[in-house]
A and B are shown apart, each in its own frame.
Chain A
Amino acid sequence: MKKKLIILIAIGFLCISLGLTQVQKPSDLKFPLLKYDPPNPKDFRTEFANDVRGYIQEDHSLPLFNISAIIDFGGLYVPKDKQGLDSVISATLIDGGTKTKEGTVIKERIEFLGGSLGFRTGERTSTLSLSVLSKDLDEGLDLFFDVLMNPEFREAPLNLAKVQLIQRLRQINDRPSGVLSREYERVLYGDHPLTWQPNKTTYESINRADLKAIHTQYFFPKNIILAASGDFDKSELKAKINRSIAGWKNKKVSIPSFSKKFPQPEPGVYFIQQRISQGYVSLGHLGIEDINPDYFAVQVMNFILGGGSFTSRITMKVRSDEGLAYNTGSRFRYRWGYPGTFSGYVQTKSSTVGYAILLIMNELDRIRKEPVSDAEMETAVNYYLESFSNTFESPQATMSTFADLEMTGKPMDYYKTYRDKIRAVTKATVQKVANKYIHPDKTVIMIVGDFEPCNKGGDKWPGPLDNLGKIHRVKLKDPMTGEELK
């Protein structure tokens, strides 16, 4: 019997091994075809009472319920003398309680249910998110809409939030990466609502009336899009949500808009002194909006330049070839309604800061002057095509993605046409957009580091830093007063 089983297993494995062709190298692999059509936002779009819009997907794989409300409100809409109000509202929308419940009662209950309820504010959108077990859907939903519609911003949690935020302010010049990203934007956008920062005075000035006013101005049905997924019946959920928001009044949507004209900073080196062992570097200029028709070509171009991690030119040169850095590459950052930024970046020991900058600048130059190779194009285009389905891996993330499309006014067939637009990118368009959107002659090189060793350089680039352009010494502001530090 035992011998029979052994023979059977041996035959079995023989069959198994014959079932696949022996492959020696990756190029021999032949993959079966895989067709994938992205979900259509229209199939999930739901209209609720009072013109609340939403995207809902039933997902019965786990007994969970997730819902988010995306609100057209963010830090950008906060006046200069009330900077930090977005952080305060983020900390108090839940903690400050509602008309009928203290914040601690709401939080205690959510935690007892093993759920989570969170609110965070971004530059132009804010999100209230709830996740509970589906058996607790009704109770969770009640708390969710109570917080969204009826926050009270009670004094004690408000005062505590202000103390915590002011104490955190003391640290904001300590992390070199945080200093770099903040000051880089300050140079590129100048004095603009996009770069305003809170200080102790602005935080202290924020009161309950300010929070109430923000809530009244932005938190109403037409200014909100919902995203929900989980173990529920869609029509039942719709009815429940409609009951919750029945009395919610609309207002006229009034979103502030700001100038899109930004000063042209003088190219050169902008140095911020910190006594650390590395230089943290960002170099570049303003970028584009993601509704620009060239967006897809820019994505492919930047993948090849420095966005495609180890497959990209900057990473290969600065990290793999030279061993100069752990983090290096290039990125286009996008923001809703305003141009984003373009930057090449690296963090490297002080003596190789200048050399690493030179290598990155060479790559900016090269991608403008020479066409990229067929192999580079193939890798970049295939990456976007083959990884496309990953966007829709989580039902809740998919619903939020669709809500975001609608919020930012992008076309609803954005994902349906996405792959065709990537396929349409050619070597010629890559070079064209490199020339159009990368400008080495206008580059701001910002360094946070220790000046003397950075300026001295090393064997391969002996300095001084003014070989890279005129040096501007940037003084940080005292986070408590907003005044320049001496």
Chain B
Amino acid sequence: MKRTLILLFTLLTFASLIVAAEIELGVKEHVLSNGLKILMIQKSGVPRVVCHIYYKVGSINERPGITGLAHLHEHMMFKGTEMMGVTDFEKDDAINKKIDELVDKIYREKFWKASGGDEEKIAPWQKEYDELVKAEKQYIIKDDLWTLYMKNGGTGLNASTGNETTGYYVTLPSNKVELQMLLESDRMLNAYFREFYSEKDVVMEERRLSENRPGFLFNEQVSAAFYAASPYQWSVLGWMDDLRKVTKADLIHFHNRYYVPNNAVAIYVGDLDPQNIIQMAEKYFGRVPKGPDVEPIRTYEPPQYSEKRVYGEGPAPTSLQMMFHTPQQGHPDVFPLSVLADVLGSGGGGGRGRFRGGGGGGTGRLYKILVQEKQMAVSVSARSRSQWYVGAFQFNATPRFDKNIQPEDLEKEIWAEIEKIEQEGVTPEEIQKAKNRFEAMFIRSLASTMSLARRVGGAELNQGWRSILTDLDDMKKVTNDDIKRVTAKYFVKDNSLTAIYRRKRGR
């Protein structure tokens, strides 16, 4: 019987041994019948396991009216289930339903009427709402899931929402992975969104924190201007108006559509036994029913056909940004663009993550020319960022204040360098340096269990985790001709946005 079981695991589990630069990723994978993919990487060391679950949903799955919902929903996933965070589910549920009905009336009065509604009508509803919220508190166990994870030694405890994915993270002692399986499958299956309206306030405070960071509001406008149609145009935080008006019904609809096992991947990295992980995954995640297939987003960014320029002022440093539309992940031009970004901007801490060639300092061409030789800038960077549906190549530069250099002066210099590369390309040493850096950074990224989980899990949801290795191979094939070709193709005015920001205090 035991042998049969082992054979069975061999059939069900595909252990991949792809090697890049003599590195073995050692990813083992297993797919549940409901479509949830389980990835496992054994790493010796301390007796702990990084447990992450990633859903294929982010701000690009929103639309005007519900911007910020993916992130708000991530917050709400900590508010309990039928089992967690509540002492008496039935009683709590009854109050919650009344709260939702009441808030629905308030929102209709406040937000559906151009006048902002009748204050006298709203006041008694608001009072009743306050009383119900107070009454509900007796049934709520605050932050139950978070407390349980911490009590059991959970570290790296967090969640994050991006444009494309949302992740839920905890690292546990290796004897307690079952706790994560129970809690994560429970909230995938039974999430219950209590305290929705006060959590909206928390998220609005989070947005205000960002707004108070010098430059945030300008950069938000730059992104909105850069993308005319693509849902990458709004930030993960969403617009304040939408945060105010988004409803519980929006949230539930969003959850039911995207939080299904066939739209997720669970990854475990550390001191683990894959057979044991598979057994637990079958037991806990296996009970969640498969959902309808999720359609990829429809709206890609259309060609721009015209140059865009944005001007602004405020408390951040005077700066220049030049942005160019580039292709999405998986497109062959992504690799020469990444090498080019590294040649122009290497050494400034950029280049982390996937396809993010570049950086801003050190030995990059632009730093040598504009900061060291011509002494026109204090910093300059070049970055190539390809995402699931769109890409962007971006230059950032800060002019020298003491020499009265203007952003427009730096803009001319960067265009001159672009034209030079279009004609001559770059040197073989520069290309080799970029390739060496990508390979070494790849190996270094495998050292941390947490970053390994992020990288493999994130890649799995788009092109599959093996793309991490094939991308590295494609990067190694880039030639100078490729670089000249992509420079000519993408660095044209009608594909660009130039943003000029001047520092002005007192706003």
Contact = CB atoms under 8 A, between A and B. Distances in A.
Nearest to B317: A171
B202 A347 contact: no
B282 to A, nearest CB: 5
A16 B433 contact: no
A321 B198 contact: yes
A399 to B, nearest CB: 13
B262 interface: no
A107 B362 contact: yes
B138 to A, nearest CB: 13
A275 interface: yes
Given A17-B282, A316-B143, A323 B153 contact: no
Interface string B91-120: 000000000000000000000000000000
Interface residues of B, number: 95
Interface stretch (A59-67, A143-151, A329-337, A435-443): A59-67
Most buried by A among B182, B211, B278: B182
B174 A61 contact: no
Most buried by B among A171, A310, A325, A347: A310
A25 B214 contact: no
Interface in A22-65: 22-26, 29, 31-34, 36, 61-64
Most buried by B among A9, A32, A323: A323
Given A111-B347, A347-B205, A167 B143 contact: no
Contacts of B503: 170
Given A36-B47, A113-B436, A167-B378, A385 B8 contact: no
A174 B214 contact: yes
Nearest to B22: A63
A327 B206 CA distance: 8
Contact of A389 (B46, B137, B142, B182): B46
A12 B200 CA distance: 46
Contact of B143 (A170, A320, A378): A320
A163 B9 CA distance: 63
Contact of B153 (A113, A278, A387): A387
B5 A390 contact: no
B146 A112 contact: no
B8 A9 contact: yes
A346 to B, nearest CB: 10
Contacts of B425: none
Most buried by B among A11, A33, A156, A393: A393
Given A31-B175, A392-B46, A325 B202 contact: yes
A262 interface: no
B444 interface: yes
A325 B205 contact: yes
B283 to A, nearest CB: 5
B280 interface: yes
Nearest to B281: A16
A385 to B, nearest CB: 7
B316 interface: yes
Contacts, number: 218
Nearest to B133: A321
A34 B175 contact: yes
Contacts of A216: none
A453 interface: no
A64 B443 contact: yes
B4 interface: yes
A278 B507 contact: no
Contacts of B155: 387, 390
Given A107-B363, A385-B153, A387-B155, A277 B208 contact: yes
Contact of A62 (B199, B212, B398, B446): B446
Given A29-B179, A385-B153, A323 B198 contact: yes
Given A12-B5, A31-B176, A111 B346 contact: yes
Contacts of A418: none
A139 interface: no
Contact of B5 (A15, A20, A311, A347): A15
A394 interface: yes
B145 to A, nearest CB: 9
A167 B376 CA distance: 13
B229 interface: no
Contacts of B283: 16-17, 20, 22
Contacts of A386: 151-153, 173, 176
B178 A310 contact: no
A326 B71 CA distance: 13
A326 B83 contact: no
A2 B438 CA distance: 46
Nearest to A27: B148
Given A386-B152, A394-B448, A275 B507 contact: yes
Given A323-B201, A325-B202, A29 B182 contact: yes
A23 B182 contact: yes
B475 to A, nearest CB: 12
Contacts of A9: 8, 12
B449 interface: yes
B153 A382 contact: yes
B40 interface: no
Nearest to A23: B182
Contacts of B303: none
Interface in B167-192: 171, 173-176, 178-179, 182-183
Contact of A379 (B151, B378, B429): B151
Given A311-B150, A389-B173, A278 B205 contact: yes
Given A17-B282, A133-B443, A347 B209 contact: yes
B4 A382 contact: no
Interface of A: 8-9, 11-13, 15-17, 19-20, 22-26, 29, 31-34, 36, 61-64, 104, 107-108, 111-115, 131-133, 156, 160, 163-164, 166-168, 170-171, 174-176, 275-278, 308-311, 315-316, 319-327, 347-349, 378-379, 382-383, 385-390, 392-395
Interface of B: 1, 4-5, 8, 12, 22-23, 43-48, 78, 83-84, 137, 142-143, 146-148, 150-155, 157, 171, 173-176, 178-179, 182-183, 195, 197-203, 205-206, 208-209, 211-214, 278-280, 282-283, 315-317, 346-347, 362-363, 368, 371-372, 375, 378-379, 398, 400-402, 429, 432-433, 436-441, 443-444, 446-449, 503, 505-507
Given A8-B8, A11-B4, 4 more contacts: A112-B429, A133-B443, A171-B214, A379-B150
27 contacts: A12-B8, A20-B178, A22-B283, A23-B182, A26-B182, A31-B175, A31-B178, A34-B173, A62-B446, A63-B22, A111-B346, A132-B440, A133-B443, A167-B401, A171-B316, A171-B317, A176-B212, A275-B507, A278-B208, A320-B195, A323-B198, A326-B203, A348-B205, A379-B150, A386-B153, A389-B47, A393-B48
Instruction: Identify the 5 closest CB pairs spanning chains A and B, nearest first.
Output: A386-B153, A114-B440, A323-B201, A323-B198, A310-B143
